[in-house]
Amino acid sequence: MPAPLPRSILPRSILFVCGMNAVRSPMAELLARQLLLPATTFVASAGVRGGERDPFVDAVLAEDGLSLGERHPRTLDDLEDDYFDLIVTLSPEAHHTALELTRSLAVDVEYWPMPDPTDVGGTREQILAAYREVRERLKARIGRRFLARQVKNRAD
């Protein structure tokens, strides 16, 4: 796995935001924490509205040996600290809200549109496949954005 970007390039704090902080943003928070260790970046997540913990999130994270532990969904209003260097929004509603909240702040907002796997129906396996797709998309996007690519110099 590539190393995190140098501390001077990594944001000091990142907030992932989605609609209810039940699926996409808690997954992104946990994956970013895992991928960015031992970087000194503070990572959190929140939702625009309140939500309930989603057991499918727990299932697909467990496949990667990860767990949300006792963490429960929280809203932007629940955050103790409301200043972040970077806010990553994962749904249109979250993006609109973040832009409104940061209109007069010096904070970067990036929109990473992610599908909502709760919209998928069918068998348990089909639903889990939709959640896995979001997990893998988040891993790839976090890797592209926050991990340094090691380029080997080859003497020919």
Tell me the pTM: 0.89
Kind and range of the H or E run holding 133:
helix 124-146
H helices then E strands: how many in the chain?
4, 4
Q: What is the pLDDT of residue 151?
A: 40
Helix residue ranges per DSSP H, 9-123: 24-36, 55-62, 92-101
Q: How confident is the model at residue 155 (pLDDT cuts 50, 70, 90)?
A: very low
The whole-angstrom separation of Cα 57 and Cα 99 is 27
Q: What backbone phi and psi angles, to 5 degrees, belong to 108?
A: -85, 135
Whether pLDDT at 7 is above 60: no
pLDDT at position 156, please? 37
What pLDDT is recorded for position 5? 66
The residue to which tokens 């340094």 are assigned: 148
Residue 10 has what pLDDT? 85
Say whether the peptide bond before residue 38 is cis (omega within 30 degrees of 0).
yes
CB 73 within 8 A of CB 18: no
pLDDT greater than 50 at residue 124: yes
pLDDT higher for 39 or 72? 72
